[in-house]
Structure 1
């Protein structure tokens, strides 16, 4: 049943601006670092000459958490708003599909769209490095893939929370405000305790034991799905 709901959701997001957001984040980060390295090429190449790829990845990674939080917030809000704007919740939930399946289908759609963004970020970073002439050094393909996906795992608790809030509220002002606030706070994650989930996307990349925060993000993200699904299954709809 969930797969039928997911197939329907794929059709509903046409023309809703979601694919624009999927491409905007990774292409924006890539373009920003292209401009950064283009303007200061000689200086940055001299600074990172021992490992040019590490320098590029480090510069990109600093902006990945805020991009994930903002992108996840907007994608969750737009997915939920498809039903809110058309006032189609009653019709949707009257179909022979369980509410839990509806919730999980929308969650899976959100996660798949963010996976596409992470893949585009890795591809864009690889292309930028090659354009800048970093191909003379060994290309760290594993680190390039980890660039987006490690932080993505660390951000899962907040993404699950954002979908829960977005599906629960007809007015998207509050969920979006929460997402923007968390995105801005993530900039100061270096000053927060490492046990705060808000810091996990950054620590999943830069910590000495990144797998601790990747695993923590995955586990807490799964735990956050449970109350969201239960609340959605019991909530009255308009």
Structure 2
């Protein structure tokens, strides 16, 4: 039944704009830095520079806000289908628990965001090669830069999914997501707030990943439990 639910969710988004967002995020990040290096190549690339390290640092400046906005929009788009078509009642009478439905939606959104992270890996390598940084690229650092923010952002993903499912007005979930993305970028948030855990430059990054996984699990459980008892229209 879980496999059937996941397949049904994939069919729902087959021709929706969510796929455009999956590609648009990493393409936008890489494109901005491509333009940046194209304009300021002599300033950014010097003989003594760690060119790959500098490239990852410049890319990471835009990863947190792009990821947070992506989470807010993708979860909202995927959850709005049932709200717009008024099909929640039909879905909830299926012989499967509400927790399973919540889990499948979380799994689908995670897959889309991980796919976007994978595209960022490819885009980073391609940009570095085009900038003539050579083929000896730091693969481990590139993978960390592309995937670690996702794991740190799991509490935000669980929260945004929770809001987008239980609140029919998607403006609420989108507002929370957009404000969180802006706050994480332009304000110095307290370290205990998950929105501050996404920066790759943070010296406590391994701790942030661990907190993201644990807190993400906690928020997911809370959301699943709440969804299992709440009437959804």
TM-score (normalizing by structure 2): 0.97
Aligned twin of 1:183: 181
Tell me, what secondary structure is at the counterpart of 1:201? Answer: coil
Aligned twin of 2:110: 111
Q: Does the 8 A contact of 2:128 with 2:134 survive in 1?
A: yes
Aligned twin of 1:235: 230
Q: Does the 8 A contact of 1:81 with 1:170 survive in 2?
A: yes
**2 CA distance for matches of 1:89 and 1:163?**
15
Q: Structure 1, residues 145-164: CA drift from partner, whole Å, max 9, x if none?
A: 11121111111111110000
**2 CA distance for matches of 1:81 and 1:87?**
10
Q: Could you say what the CA RMSD is over the residues aligned between the two structures, in angstroms? A: 1.2
Output aligned runs, 1:24-173, within 5 Å.
Answer: 24-46=24-46, 49-135=48-134, 138-173=136-171
TM-score (normalizing by structure 1): 0.95
Output aligned runs, 1:189-200, within 5 Å.
Answer: 189=187, 191-200=188-197
Per-residue deviation, 1:2: 2.3
**2 CA distance for matches of 1:62 and 1:37?**
14
Q: Does the 8 A contact of 1:157 with 1:218 survive in 2?
A: yes
**2 CA distance for matches of 1:196 and 1:231?**
22
Q: Does the 8 A contact of 2:82 with 2:88 survive in 1?
A: yes
Q: Does the 8 A contact of 1:2 with 1:105 survive in 2?
A: yes
Q: Structure 1, residues 102-147: CA drift from partner, whole Å, max 9, x if none?
A: 11000000000000000001110110000000016x3100111111
Q: 1:4 aligned to 2:43?
A: no
Q: Does the 8 A contact of 1:70 with 1:180 survive in 2?
A: yes
**2 CA distance for matches of 1:11 and 1:35?**
36
- Structure 2: state its 5+ residue gaps: none
Corresponding pairs, count:
233
